[in-house]
Structure 1
Amino acid sequence: MESETLDTSSIRKIAIIGSGLAGLTAAIMLGRSGHQVRVFEKSRGPGGRLASKRVANGAVDVGAQYFTSRNPAFLKFLEDYAGADRFGPWRGTFGFQKAQEGWQPFPGESRYVGIPRMTAITRGLSEHVELTAQVRIERITRTGARWQLVSTDGKELGEFDQVVITAPPAQTQELLAASGMTQLLSETHAPGGDILPCWAVAVHFLKAPSAPFDAMRPDSDVLYWVANNSSKPGRDDSGQWWVLHATPEWTKANVDTTPETVTNELLTAFRGLTGFSGVPVESVAHRWLYARSASTDQPGFLWDQGQGVGVAGDWLVGGRVEGAWESANRLAEAMQAGE
């Protein structure tokens, strides 16, 4: 009988900072190769931009509203690791408004959402990784040939051979600066230099508003996106939840405005758009300081093989949801190629 010996010299301890789609993808792909991977998340649970807010009798999506897939392998990954029942097509009607031409339908394309909320996808993916939540990493410090993670409250969280950072660009840059990684920090400036903010407001009406489409890109100085969240599959809502996203320009001008004022301003613009005068029975507002990338510099990922530190995220591939998966995949491949 032949005996087999496991070569543990090729097994690395890897820390992933951030549990959005990029972080969870990197953790799954590297873990699948046999490495010991641990994910650290500053919030209570995974999600990133696939974010939902708990509301009465359910949840409402306040982050990414849907995603598309150009690479069939992306949907296969979600089926395998999130679960085929955790997402599905959103068959609502989509339209955009032109100043002189009125409303036009969006081009035909399959659009997908998490079921029963966007966070169902990252919740499903997180079941395959070791996740430590409610811990914010302040810096990483070199201890010999390994990295020590240090939290904002001064706790040391263990030593790792390699580190992957999947936080938004500003937070990634703060972490790299605090860790003295000037070269990798400089490589983040171009792709991370133009991240647009967004105020998001969700309002609940008992009586359904009348609108030309379920999801709309209006010609507006205030509203960038308007959507009937209740038209998505798996949302068993009484009445209707509508999600209103402000334009980047309006958000920048009102970034420090109170949530109450923002809600009133976006609701006024919504009424002007639809002619609906109903009063919401519930509302929730969320400010995204780093909503989407407008940079044309798209390196895909960043990897310092000598230091063993990489960066992944949708902002490195143009900002699409699928881009987070693509970025993490490409980084994982580069890390394994250097073994």
Structure 2
Amino acid sequence: MRVTHSEVLIIGAGIAGLAAARRVHEADLTCRLLEKSRGLGGRCATRRFHNASFDHGAQFFTVRNPPLKALAESWLEQDSIREWCRGFPCAATGAGAGVDGYPRYCSSPGMNRLPKVLGSGLTIEKQVLVTSIERAADGWHVASSDERHWHSHALIVTAPLPQTLALLEPDVSRQVLTCFPALQEVDYDPCFTVMLALSGESGVPPPGAIREPNSAIDWIADNSMKHETGGPAALTVHTSAAFTRRHFDAPQEDVAAAVIEEVQPYLMADVAAWQVHRWRYAKPREPLSVGALALPGTHPLVLSGDYLNTPARLEGAFDSGISAATYILAQS
């Protein structure tokens, strides 16, 4: 059996995994990421269809804490990101755009550019479906659905908590919950992203997004306004948790029809094409605000992700990844 060895193995190349890997890489430890998808970034995702691009996960990010600040400044200088705006109108509260004046950043032509920049120079294996994680005498053993195998001295797992616990061998999973009982309270809100390509302009107000237009919809953004691409509107619609739970198992056609009805006031043109994406673990309800959690032992197992950091946004995931890497480096 051929086994690939590294000092640090990271499961998941979302923002937390990429942040951790970059920090470990900069410390000159051998590090490898395993990602089940074709792309990087997890919910920092962009999809293209009908000659339009749609950010269908994270819509922007903020920079409030030091770990991300230095990188963001360099990305601004390199034109990898830009400031989108400093606030959004909220229909539910009546607040206007720029209500807090705090910068929101995005990457163009889509948010998926950000993980590509963050992952540059790292060793990443894509389309790897990890099926098991087992503790070994000298570290950790990971296996995939296509019978590939990896070994590492330290392991960071950044998947949503239910997926993480399912991957760990039962004894380790039980140990994690025993050591960190607060994890038993972690839960997630689901979300539909409905992408609507219009035949003309939208009625979304400047700067190209509106929050909570009604009880079924949390967010509408016009990607053509956001990225200043011109042309017909390309709308990203995020549904509320309550709406998503009611319709989670419904056919995509029914979900799209219901959402189009809910956002009619913002459609100034016909819907030319649509797609639906289900996010089962869209947002942790109550993140634990601990950064990362490390299982005691000679060979570290560290849990990382937005469910462990407040706020549960892109920056929270980034900071959690840095916390996980910092723990690993302190043990090496």
TM-score w.r.t. length of structure 1: 0.88
**Superposed CA offset, 1:120-174 (max 9, x none):** 0101122221000001111122332121211123x24222111100112221121
Counterpart contact for 1:19–1:41, Cα < 8 Å: yes
User: 2: CA distance between counterparts of 1:193 and 1:72?
Assistant: 26
How far the C-alpha of 1:79 sits from its partner, in A, is 5.3
Instruction: Give the secondary-structure state (helix, strand or coil) at the position aligned to 1:181.
Output: helix
User: 2: CA distance between counterparts of 1:197 and 1:171?
Assistant: 15
* Pairing 1:243–2:236 present: yes
* Change in CA separation of 1:280 and 1:84 when aligned onto 2, cut-off 3 Å: same
TM-score w.r.t. length of structure 2: 0.89
From 128, 140, 143, give the equivalent of 1:147: 140
* Change in CA separation of 1:12 and 1:39 when aligned onto 2, cut-off 3 Å: closer
* Change in CA separation of 1:179 and 1:267 when aligned onto 2, cut-off 3 Å: farther
1:175 corresponds in structure 2 to: 167
* Change in CA separation of 1:174 and 1:222 when aligned onto 2, cut-off 3 Å: same
Instruction: Give the secondary-structure state (helix, strand or coil) at the position aligned to 1:200.
Output: strand
* Change in CA separation of 1:237 and 1:168 when aligned onto 2, cut-off 3 Å: farther
Q: Which runs of 5+ in 1 are unaligned?
A: 1-10
Counterpart contact for 2:67–2:322, Cα < 8 Å: no
From 309, 324, 331, give the equivalent of 1:317: 309
From 33, 38, 42, give the equivalent of 1:39: 33
From 247, 268, 273, give the equivalent of 1:282: 273
Counterpart contact for 1:18–1:166, Cα < 8 Å: yes
* Pairing 1:184–2:164 present: no
From 217, 222, 230, give the equivalent of 2:211: 217
How far the C-alpha of 1:296 sits from its partner, in A, is 4.8
* Pairing 1:51–2:45 present: yes
* Change in CA separation of 1:83 and 1:21 when aligned onto 2, cut-off 3 Å: farther
Instruction: Give the secondary-structure state (helix, strand or coil) at the position aligned to 1:335.
Output: helix
User: 1: CA distance between counterparts of 2:209 and 2:82?
Assistant: 17
2:157 corresponds in structure 1 to: 165
From 251, 254, 257, give the equivalent of 1:258: 251
* Pairing 1:69–2:63 present: yes
How far the C-alpha of 1:59 sits from its partner, in A, is 2.2
Q: Percent identity?
A: 28
Instruction: Give the secondary-structure state (helix, strand or coil) at the position aligned to 1:97.
Output: coil
User: 2: CA distance between counterparts of 1:179 and 1:331?
Assistant: 22
1:123 corresponds in structure 2 to: 116
User: 1: CA distance between counterparts of 2:94 and 2:79?
Assistant: 37
* Change in CA separation of 1:34 and 1:277 when aligned onto 2, cut-off 3 Å: closer
User: 1: CA distance between counterparts of 2:72 and 2:84?
Assistant: 16
Aligned-pair RMSD on alpha carbons? Answer: 2.4
- Residue type at the aligned position of 2:286: S
Once the two structures are superposed, the pairs formed by residues 16-31 of structure 1 within 5 Å of their partners are 16-31=10-25
Greater Cα shift, 35-44 or 325-334: 325-334
Counterpart contact for 1:215–1:228, Cα < 8 Å: yes
1:5 corresponds in structure 2 to: none
- Residue type at the aligned position of 1:182: R
User: 2: CA distance between counterparts of 1:241 and 1:178?
Assistant: 45
- Residue type at the aligned position of 1:308: P
User: 1: CA distance between counterparts of 2:77 and 2:176?
Assistant: 35
Instruction: Give the secondary-structure state (helix, strand or coil) at the position aligned to 1:265.
Output: helix
- Higher Cα Rg, which structure: 1
How far the C-alpha of 1:211 sits from its partner, in A, is 3.4
Greater Cα shift, 170-179 or 52-61: 170-179
* Pairing 1:132–2:145 present: no
2:198 corresponds in structure 1 to: 205
User: 2: CA distance between counterparts of 1:191 and 1:313?
Assistant: 15
- Residue type at the aligned position of 2:219: W
- Residue type at the aligned position of 1:32: E
Instruction: Give the secondary-structure state (helix, strand or coil) at the position aligned to 1:85.
Output: coil
Counterpart contact for 2:14–2:41, Cα < 8 Å: yes
How far the C-alpha of 1:72 sits from its partner, in A, is 4.5
